[in-house]
Chains A and B, each alone.
Chain A
């Protein structure tokens, strides 16, 4: 086990290195980094302005802008060679200094701290919805496999998996919030209960397709487990079917669901970008889209890095958890 963990940690570090380098490369090699950071200000001829030779009448404003450009150069170490710059930037990121948004002069770390909780609440609720629906749904489908309910649920989950989540979000918003007015149509933050209630629709949007895919996996595994000798044994002893289902068969059938849990979180993060947009939730998904449209690259990069690093670490943990649950995996 120790060797396995060590190998995994080495891989984790290598991947983190590569992921951060890709982000850094996107900012520094695709286009001029200065333009990426400060936008049009990068075109100012600051040397001329400082020397007083610029023909501009608004030299005051221009020199203020030049201060911004100089600050950006210092912040992102733009005077240094690319490999050095990467090292310094990585050090800044690791110590929580994500730079400054030059569009509104806020430290990026503060932006993330404000927006992250909303997204995390949304993701947790979505996973809760997905698991909460998938377990009874999968159990019922497997209990009478290939009967009417199972057939119907196969069609339903196939359909659910074919709805793009932005389309599902808009349809749910239309039906449940506008037409029948069961749920609020927009984000509320007045009270905790109001907040959670307004998050139900977004969580359903993300959770329903995920529930469908969990259900498929759970159903298949349950059907296999139900063929095991010890289940026949329990049945022969006369235990009630639902007790066999939940006490004997369910737990060993959850492996596949655990395996895709990590990967599905990535899908959910992608989905939350869209869902936050539909329901007006002020989370990091909405923030990154706004930042892309405003060309606020420091914010985009910081959010991408936070999300990617979280995702990598989460998958690492799921991997460890899985190998702890099922020792055969370690031999890979």
Chain B
């Protein structure tokens, strides 16, 4: 058993803390993130406002904490959606081969033919930008990479003896897929969840930065906070408004990548081709 190392647990600790804080943000004894003039405009960090205040005098610390909610919710939902839809399609394609495989392969190929962010814009352009739509959009982006991987690994396992044995014993296709293939394909893919989530969190951040993520004043997101504070005058006079969310987001994505990469090495899984 290889050891995962101190840094791995540090990363996991950070992620666990973010998840807890995001879940219980409304219950925490922190300022209301939408309260205008909680302090003066663009105040430097102090004991009252740990991360300072933004141009409207809102508490940056509280906003950063609340910002984790959308980022993590969208990231988590998107990767689960990608795993279920992409993983499922990949297994079916890899197991049944033939026409189905060609069709599914073509769909994956077309999805990958758009630069990811451009496809996301095409989808969100015409729809209301609710939490569900944004999550689904980023989930769709995850379908093809996850699907290609699950197809490839199904192809390998479908050739193995235990699958042939099950078939000889008269197992139905459904049983073979669920009882023989699914555990072998999904568990290694599960090791890639964190890596995929890192990509999804960045994608949501990019959309938010462009003003195309979840709409509404109460929808606080790291990407939106960073763009709000990145005007030249804001950066010049009150860099903390942007740099704190940047730092927290970087720490989160780095932790996801690092922990994810360690888990991947631990289970010896091939890399995801995002």
Contact = CB atoms under 8 A, between A and B. Distances in A.
A270 B115 contact: yes
Interface stretch (A74-82, A88-96, A108-116, A166-174): A166-174
Interface stretch (A144-152, A154-162, A193-201, A320-328): A154-162
Contacts of A311: 113-115
Contacts of A83: none
Contacts of A289: 121, 210-212
B118 A26 contact: no
Contacts of A11: 109
Interface stretch (A55-63, A98-106, A246-254, A292-300): A292-300
Contacts of A158: 254, 257-258, 261
Contact of A312 (B113, B230, B246): B113
Contacts of B154: none
Interface stretch (B36-44, B88-96, B198-206): B198-206
Nearest to B258: A158
A266 interface: yes
Interface residues of B, number: 42
Given A164-B206, A274-B117, A308-B114, 9 more contacts: A18-B110, A23-B122, A166-B227, A167-B205, A173-B235, A266-B114, A270-B118, A304-B121, A315-B113
Nearest to B236: A178
Binding site secondary structure of chain B: helix
Contacts of A318: none
Contact of A166 (B106, B114, B212, B223): B223
A139 interface: no
Interface string A117-154: 00000000000000000000000000000000000000
Contact of B257 (A31, A161, A166, A277): A161
Given A26-B123, A162-B253, A170 B226 contact: yes
A30 B133 CA distance: 13
Interface string A18-38: 110011001100110000100
Contacts of B121: 273, 288-289, 292, 300, 304
A172 to B, nearest CB: 11
B246 A170 contact: yes
B169 interface: no
Contact of B115 (A26, A267, A277): A267
Interface in A36-88: 36
12 contacts: A26-B126, A31-B127, A162-B258, A166-B227, A170-B226, A171-B246, A174-B243, A273-B121, A289-B121, A289-B212, A300-B121, A308-B113
Interface residues of A, number: 50
Contacts of A307: 114-115, 118
Nearest to A16: B113
B153 interface: no
B1 interface: no
B115 A266 contact: yes
A269 B118 contact: yes
Interface of A: 11, 14-15, 18-19, 22-23, 26-27, 30-31, 36, 158-159, 161-167, 170-171, 173-174, 178, 185-186, 266-267, 269-271, 273-274, 277-278, 288-289, 292-293, 297, 300-301, 304, 307-308, 311-312, 315
B115 A269 contact: yes
A254 B22 CA distance: 44
B122 A167 contact: no
B243 to A, nearest CB: 7
B233 to A, nearest CB: 10
B9 interface: no
Given A270-B115, A308-B118, A30 B127 contact: yes
B209 A22 contact: no
Contacts of B168: none
Nearest to B261: A158
B15 to A, nearest CB: 13
B239 interface: yes
B47 interface: no
A320 B241 CA distance: 48
Contacts of B209: 166, 274, 277
Nearest to A186: B232
